[in-house]
Structure 1
Amino acid sequence: MKPSLVEILAPRLAALDLDHRLKLAREVIPGHIVFTTSFGIEDQFVTHSIFTQGLEIDVVTIDTGRLFEETISLWEETEARYARRIHAVYPQALPLAEFVAEHGVNSFYRAVENRKACCHVRKVEPLSRLLAGASAWVTGLRADQSQAREGVNLIELDNDRKLVKLNPLADYTREAIVAATEAFSVPVNELHAKGFLSIGCAPCTRALEPGESERAGRWWWEEDEKKECGLHVGPDGRLTRGPAPEDPR
């Protein structure tokens, strides 16, 4: 059986650092590559690597309409720092208006189903448009971010979206990323210093309490160890899709 692109790249990527992983991916993977940033410290590190190397990888964000002001400020600061525009995709106005009209503006606090529906209209559906036509998707996922993300691979095939998914920080620690952003003067969200280690929409994110895990401040009221917004899970609820036997291209 002919090896897939994922199977070929996986061992080569494992021996490289972030810069060289992104460079190799751009050299080997044909077509349009998209990096989605939420302006967390991991994403800022990846953005720095893409922009300073001048790689042909689009850096795009999903503006949900409920972002922290600090995140918006960082967005502007990052564009100024690298003299590059970070484009955005937005929720579709009519479905969002219908959702709020039916369920209420903060209905996600009342039911998990409402929260997932809100995430879908504000994040998941916009992501599907953002990735349309892309051959590869770069993320800032790390294996040590949560128990649910322990199995994330450096590279895998997203079977649902039929594209390669590259997680170049999968085996990095948060400490290593913090050290790198400090060394390269990468702008980071000021909320990190206030206990917000994982930052999403403002109503759904709080600062961590002492001893809590990194993502405990996300949708904290649900008390669920495997909380995800839907961007990185399939219909079966699994986080990683894994490599397929053959590459679709």
Structure 2
Amino acid sequence: MSGNLEHRTAELSAALSGLSPEQALAYLANEFEGKIICSSSFSWEDQVISHMILSQKLPIKIFTLDTGRLFSETYYVWSRTNEMYSTNIEAYYPNASLIEEFVTAKGPNSFYDSVENRKSCCYIRKVEPLQRALKGNELWITGLRAEHSPERGDLPQIEFDHTNNIIKFHPLLHWSTDDLRAVINQNGIPYNTLHDKGFVSIGCQPCTRAIMPGDDFRAGRWWWEDKTSKECGLHAHS
């Protein structure tokens, strides 16, 4: 199955060429009906993608990873999105036994102590639930953008994820933050108000802080670590 999916990546890239994000999402929803999924952290980009899916009533399941350490503002956007679009975004949670064992052994804030602890926490709270969410699906829609980091600047808009054996599509890869703000304002899309307070990349509350103008996009995530470990493993490449 994975070989067939990887082979389709080039075909899909050609088919999507020249299409708007809305058109591309509609095309993929038809091609992968029942096996297409979209992840959301309720960020600017994820909210815009969700609006494109929900306003067109596309048969694409939207899910989120509730790590148990999210900001209250994030939960508000989640609730407001469900209300506005009459939908139910699906939640995936950490495995209870794994998180209980980890917190008991290491403590609730052990991610500050070492990169190893932080990555273990990310794996339990985010990566393992993601693997469960993606299971049985063939195409994963993400909100990755080239602005996020230098490493993401060279990403193709559609690619094969060998780690998760799934095709990934990044509809807003080349959009700017100003592009996102314009669409959000024009359509009254709910968004996380922490963005107005200098929070750019918003994850778990203990691991996220506001950044200063001119700072790197990821400077507010795991700021106590060096720059070589600024990923959580959700979008690892093999």
TM-score interval, normalised by the smaller of the two chains? over 0.9
1:1-249 to 2 correspondences below 5 Å = 4-29=7-32, 31-225=34-228, 227-233=230-236, 238=237, 241=238
Where does the alignment leave 5 or more consecutive residues of structure 2 unmatched?
Answer: none
- SS of the residue corresponding to residue 95 of structure 1 reads helix
1:149, distance to aligned residue in structure 2 (A): 1.4
Aligned length: 234
1:154, distance to aligned residue in structure 2 (A): 1.0
State the superposition RMSD in angstroms: 1.5
1:28, distance to aligned residue in structure 2 (A): 2.3
Q: Compared with structure 1, are the counterparts of its residues 14 and 195 closer, same or farther at alpha carbon in structure 2 (3 Å cutoff)?
A: farther
Q: State the Cα deviation string for residues 100-137 of structure 1 (Å, max 9, x = none).
A: 11111011111001000000000000011111111111
- SS of the residue corresponding to residue 35 of structure 1 reads strand
CA distance in 2, matches of 1:97, 1:168: 37
Q: TM-score, normalised by structure 1?
A: 0.90
CA distance in 2, matches of 1:16, 1:173: 18
CA distance in 2, matches of 1:220, 1:13: 37
What letter is aligned with 1:29? F
Of the structure 1 ranges 148-157 and 120-129, higher mean CA displacement relative to structure 2 is found in 148-157
Ranges of 4+ aligned residues in structure 1 off by more than 6 Å: none
CA distance in 1, matches of 2:120, 2:12: 35
Q: State the Cα deviation string for residues 33-69 of structure 1 (Å, max 9, x = none).
A: 1111000000000000110011110010000000000
CA distance in 2, matches of 1:54, 1:135: 20
Give 1 or 2: higher helix fraction: 2
CA distance in 2, matches of 1:176, 1:52: 18
CA distance in 2, matches of 1:173, 1:13: 20
Of the structure 1 ranges 171-180 and 39-48, higher mean CA displacement relative to structure 2 is found in 171-180
What percentage of aligned pairs have identical amino acids?
44
What letter is aligned with 2:66? D
What letter is aligned with 1:105? P
CA distance in 2, matches of 1:231, 1:100: 21
1:223, distance to aligned residue in structure 2 (A): 2.4
What letter is aligned with 1:155? I
Q: Compared with structure 1, are the counterparts of its residues 30 and 52 closer, same or farther at alpha carbon in structure 2 (3 Å cutoff)?
A: closer
Where does the alignment leave 5 or more consecutive residues of structure 1 unmatched?
Answer: 242-249
1:29, distance to aligned residue in structure 2 (A): 3.0
8 Å CA contact 1:95–1:121 kept in 2: the answer is: yes
CA distance in 2, matches of 1:212, 1:13: 34
CA distance in 2, matches of 1:153, 1:33: 19
